Amino acid sequence: MRLALDTTVAGGYKSNAQRARVLTESWVTESWVDKEIYCPNCGQLKIDKYPNNQPVADFYCSNCKEDYELKGKQDGLGTKIVDGAHRTMLERLTSNNNPNFFLLNYDLSSLTVTNFLVIPKHFFVPKIIEKRKPLAPTARRAGWIGCNIVLQSIPASGKIFFVKDQKIESKEKVLNEWKKTLFLREEQEISAKGWLLDVMRCVEKLGNREFTLNDVYAFESELGVLHPDNKHVKDKIRQQLQILRDKGYLDFVSRGHYRIT
């Protein structure tokens, strides 16, 4: 896979933001055309680019109709992605046209791709969207409120890498990681999905493939802060682990013992 960005496509742009967008879009398009990138949902080696200024997404798969919005970020993934209007993003989370996110991270000095990943849309819930301060009264769009996507609030299973630290991941691994969490799309209620994602994130924090119920109980206080209306956090933890087991995300090893599949 070619990891270098083609600087010739951005020669007519003066703005750094415009150059970055053209460079990243060109890399994704050309890589897909060269059969190096594929739709993580169906595996098809094809991408179509929406016309410029499409309000929802940048690319779509002509086979399975999945939409993808592309974000470029230089000099490390960091903990946040700058996104658009806060109100618009929250509206999209409850709509049927919320796209998946491609995140292309590149090194500006060497103009090479460092990381390229997809965040499936079923990992997007309001708590990962951070509201930014309104623009100053002197700004051209005074009072406009943007948002950030907080990457550290997304479980690791929601960050599926095609390229990680300039290492290309296998297609089989990418497709399997995508399929593993598709069950989250079945949960339409935002609060219920938020509970599942928070417990998944706590399980990942343990750092071990096998763990016990008591290990997850250690996050009772943290989960209680995230879900203040629930006064029976331990009961909820057990319920979420059972759901994750039933969906194939976890295996039940023995009483009170689980394994990440």
* Span 162-170, average pLDDT: 94
Give percent of the chain above pLDDT 70: 98
- Give the closest residue to 199 by CA, choosing from 258, 120, 131, 129: 258
- Give the closest residue to 106 by CA, choosing from 3, 26, 194: 3
Q: What is the mean pLDDT of the chain?
A: 90
pLDDT greater at residue 233 or residue 5? 233
- The confidence score (pLDDT) of residue 9 equals 78
Q: Where are the beta strands (DSSP E) in the chain?
A: 48-49, 59-60, 67-74, 80-85, 100-107, 112-119, 129-131, 146-150, 160-164, 167-168, 210-212, 250-254, 257-260
User: Residue 215: helix, strand or coil by DSSP?
Assistant: helix
Dig out the tokens for 167 from the structure: 């290492």
Domains of the chain and CATH, by start: 7-186 (3.40.210.30), 190-260 (1.10.10.10)
What is d(CA 101, CA 253) in angstroms, rounded to the nearest whole number?
34
Strand partners, 68: 59, 100
* Span 121-147, average pLDDT: 93
What are the tens digits of pLDDT across the range 18-62? 777 788 888 887 776 556 789 999 999 877 888 877 767 888 999
* Span 200-225, average pLDDT: 97
What is d(CA 45, CA 156) in angstroms, rounded to the nearest whole number?
25
What is d(CA 123, CA 102) in angstroms, rounded to the nearest whole number?
13
- The confidence score (pLDDT) of residue 2 equals 80
Q: Answer yes or no: are the C-beta atoms of 261 and 251 closer than 8 Å.
A: yes
- The confidence score (pLDDT) of residue 35 equals 66
C-alpha dihedral sign at 30, 60, 123, 128: positive
Dig out the tokens for 218 from the structure: 């250690």
pTM for the model: 0.88
Q: Answer yes or no: are the C-beta atoms of 70 and 77 closer than 8 Å.
A: no
- The confidence score (pLDDT) of residue 98 equals 86
Q: Answer yes or no: are the C-beta atoms of 133 and 141 closer than 8 Å.
A: no
* Span 57-80, average pLDDT: 89
pLDDT greater at residue 20 or residue 256? 256
